[in-house]
Structure 1
């Protein structure tokens, strides 16, 4: 099964603060809400994705992916040879925390979201910070709805970026810094990646995009392998 991936660059300015229940030292999360305020959240089933496998019922019988399964390594090497360190890991069963108000209301529709797990990565030079978040759902329809809406309006329906914990030795990205956002869907999860430069610079968009997409693909492959029963 090929995971769906949303493309297109989204520049995000971080403003509001939120929090998460963490399995590692607590981290502060920052998010942007739409300037126009809260928009109405669509309801109703999105239906099954066109590429849903025939073995879907048996795949959904598997437990929701655990944090250590979604992010098994503290050191990651991508296919292009670049290396990243995981400096924070955060997880909660309250998926409405750490997301924009619009997305919070969306994830609570249907049977809701079962778990949100986020990890913060930085490169060997510690120039970039990429947060990858996995939202896992009981039903494929609910995951599909969230993926569709976040792809349609990624500014309103967005996931927070983690700020690094003090022990990571990384600077907190300055408020208002631009970033790159990407998302993908597996069997029952939506994977988000937000990339920002540690110093908040607005240049180097192509390089930041490549780093963000690389980590998104790595985590997406890991989650898809588990959810499709290939491990």
Structure 2
């Protein structure tokens, strides 16, 4: 079992490209679900926005395996194409995460941990938000923490990504009883309680897509 979980020692440029492509597929498949989640507490357009944004991302991806350049392209396209708060926030996530990765064609486990940290720091600053406010951070921060915890225990990249995806899913579900403190949902006050946050859901889908892409490339 340990060998089956070991997987790759690094994440390569083609794996990152596969992650981006997998994310686009996931948003196409979950477009309706995400918009349904957004309907009672937002503009009912989150699924359509993310689907449109990642379709544009695929059209504009540069050639080559420079991981920083790939992620920066994702960032700039999402900022340009995704409406509402999602475009700037997801754009910031990929942009800040890409900065130390420019020129790299493969990432170590430490590089991935740094990507999570930098991306989250950017989102916190841009959104003036933190865990517990019913936002995408409620999925992203647990994912980052789980990735680091699994790494500290000796788990390799694939095991750490699986742990991150599981933590992101739990964090996503934990937004249901929360009262929103940021975005349009915050205007609803207590009426936002009982609804799963669409941003946390799309963040979980992105983390899960990364785990799935790396696992598939390792088969």
Q: Same fold (TM over 0.5)?
A: no
Higher relative contact order (CA 8 A, sep 6+): 1
TM-score interval w.r.t. the shorter chain? Answer: 0.3 to 0.5
- Which structure has more strand as a fraction of its residues? 1
- Which structure has more helix as a fraction of its residues? 2
